[in-house]
Structure 1
């Protein structure tokens, strides 16, 4: 699988502060990659280094197979980006802002500019307000316009920093559908976010940044794979313990977690023992649980001399 974003030992220091600490990103063609971390964890600094907007203190960046920032003039026309909220001319309309950006970029035909702008406004849900001055836009509308600017060149790689910031639930849903459509069309998406629920619905691969360190990087399906246990929903979880002595891992309100990855077998054993069962499901960790566990491991290791982040 072709690497679209690759970093080796990428580090950024500001005085004594190590904002990004030796990270090795691996984003592959066709990924929807969720770059996760709390505010202040170093996500935006990393994204800015990827695009050549900030120079690393040490380490290297490869973007679409080219070294950055040295190859920025060749690479960036193939990349769409939205970082730290969009910047626009407030007195101009959304349409005029996109037209100016299109004119400033390389390679776009003037003859087809109007069609490109119309297409993008439609994609991001601003077709009906494209002629309204941007100063009259809500935060969510400005965010949509920024995403539209990132899509003007039909990029091979889309790099987004908190793209659903300021959007209501309906807007978040629409942007999620748009990103999935772009992905199906062949665009690789790198999405920096702290919204775990959105990433869990959208991404195929995730990396977790904690205090500048990449503490986890893997396929989402691998991270949230079944644990080998079955969740039993029942009005009497203590009877599950009695019936399956030695196999019950945990008991809570209205449920028990039983060792075994065959719900049908667990159900047969309980029904045979006369235990009422109202539901069965394989136990899977949520992305939130995975991220919290990775961050906790990082906290345990942060003061150890010479330690490198787990990838």
Structure 2
């Protein structure tokens, strides 16, 4: 669905994107992550033909970009660096202007389409207030509605839940999951690692312009070979572990072991009380921090 090979963008002496080879498959929910200043937005803008690469190639839906942008972009919905809108017009009027571009549908069909996307993003009850009176969260919802107008095969979203409250974030996450199940590939850049962890199936991580990680989320969060044990008999357990103890904090113990069920059976057989026992898995935050260096916007390096 998206493929880049050795994609590079320089701004004078600054290399914003450095030889990135990115692969987004059809049907993915792909989370694109990285510290501030790592080149995420520059790369996303190149995918849409808004910035021309210095070198390398881009294919979106099997067609070269930006050379074939006129064919590709009608099948892509996007929300990049915040929603754009005429501030003195209502949300519906803004969507009407966007939807009219290149459309030969009857006005009634366009109205129905607009009402449908407003309902999808939680703005069905919006009145005729101008967009300048909208909250940041409402503007984000409107921008997402604009991205959905043409029932895109591919959604490219930059921080789509910016400004939303927790309920709104969950609603957008559920919407994107439903759209993906219906056949839309989702590519999103976000700083909210917890949301990416709950939504995405694959992730790519960039750091200082380089792609440092691209993998299935399930693989990244596979068991580490350690087991987390909580027990009121922590003292006794630490005495029988025969060198497999990794760490202990009160009743919480970390044990070197591959199989939680096997370890549980052994401990119970030894007469130990077990409150909980689970395989240790790395969080997405731990994965990203391990793959990247200090933030590019720090001044003390």
- Gap regions ≥5 residues in structure 2: 297-301
1:230 Cα shift?
Answer: 1.4
How far apart, in 1, do the equivalents of 2:230 and 2:215 lie? 31
1:197-216 superposed Cα distances (whole Å, 9 cap, x missing partner):
00000000000011111110
1:296 Cα shift?
Answer: 4.5
Q: Does 1:264 align with 2:265?
A: no
Aligned to 1:47: 44
Q: Aligned Cα RMSD in Å? A: 1.8
Task: Provide runs of 4+ in structure 1 moved above 4 Å.
Answer: 106-109, 296-299
Q: Does 1:190 align with 2:175?
A: no
How far apart, in 2, do the equivalents of 1:258 and 1:144 lie? 46
Match of 1:137 among 134, 150, 155: 134
1:240 Cα shift?
Answer: 2.3
TM-score with structure 2 length normalisation? Answer: 0.94
TM-score with structure 1 length normalisation? Answer: 0.91
Q: Does 1:273 align with 2:270?
A: yes
1:96-116 superposed Cα distances (whole Å, 9 cap, x missing partner):
100100001456554410000
Aligned to 1:227: 224
Q: Residue 34 of structure 2 contacts residue 292 of structure 2 at CA under 8 Å; is this kept in 1? A: no
Once the two structures are superposed, the pairs formed by residues 1-311 of structure 1 within 5 Å of their partners are 4-106=1-103, 108-296=105-293
- Gap regions ≥5 residues in structure 1: 300-311
Cα gap change, 1:109/1:246 in structure 2, threshold over 3 Å: closer, same or farther? farther
1:136 Cα shift?
Answer: 1.1
The higher-RCO structure (CA 8 Å, 6+ apart) is 2
Q: Residue 243 of structure 1 contacts residue 270 of structure 1 at CA under 8 Å; is this kept in 2? A: no
Report the count of equivalent residues.
Answer: 296
1:238 Cα shift?
Answer: 4.1
How far apart, in 1, do the equivalents of 2:256 and 2:133 lie? 57
Cα gap change, 1:123/1:130 in structure 2, threshold over 3 Å: closer, same or farther? farther
